[in-house]
Structure 1
Amino acid sequence: MTSGSIMRRINGEKFGRWSLRLDAAYCTVLGAAVALFAGRIAEGVALPALLIAAAGVAVVVWAGGIVWMLARLPLRSALRLVMVANLVAAIAVGFASATAATLLIVLAVVTVAIDIALFATSQAVALRALPVRG
């Protein structure tokens, strides 16, 4: 099966909307957990707890932004914006792993970076599966 035939089988509209909804849910849970456990997280990385808590709150706010974009923007625009933000976030989180004190914490932070990159990939797949505007 070629990638072209796989892309024809994916409903870009449904896949894109689900990708954004799941991304928003993930951001809500992850951001809230980071904000709530900022003190503990700060013990494992060389970053201030206040910075970590602010990042967690920002991620929750971003989740609301994704929901807003899904409701107000054309799907193609929302997917592009969120995909680019996810790529930037994956890189930033990956670099943050360099501040981790132990290998286990490095692996945990890199895992989050990979999760974020996978959301960006799902949004790219949805964009590619959307019908070309005529």
Structure 2
Amino acid sequence: MFFDISKLTQLKAPASEERFAKLIFDNRVIKEAPLSMAYFTFKPGQIGPRHVHQSEVEVYLCTKGKGMVLIEDEPHVLTPDTLLYIPPRMFHETRNIGDGNFEFYAIFGPMVNFDNIRAWEEVS
């Protein structure tokens, strides 16, 4: 399948955890996909919730800006063309530490379902 990220709908998280996502694919888009993928944008100062994935690996590939991911309270700084592997069962929190937008692909394996993100508000 072919995806044009620029044409995907951008979704905005609730104010308490504000950040933005474009859902590329999960099992609702490709039924038997072995992984899922989304594109996230954090504006300056935005911080995502601390969370954990019990069985999924998460990989971040930074495309723009400067972000930091705390994995079990160990900081990892991401800048364009850097990649971060987050093992299962590791608590992590993502934040923008730069002056511009922090943007990255998030790849999950095995696949996660994005229905919780689909509930976010659509923005233009």
Is the pair's TM-score, using the shorter chain for normalization, greater than 0.5?
no
Higher strand share: 2
Who wins on radius of gyration, i.e. which is larger?
1
Higher helix share: 1
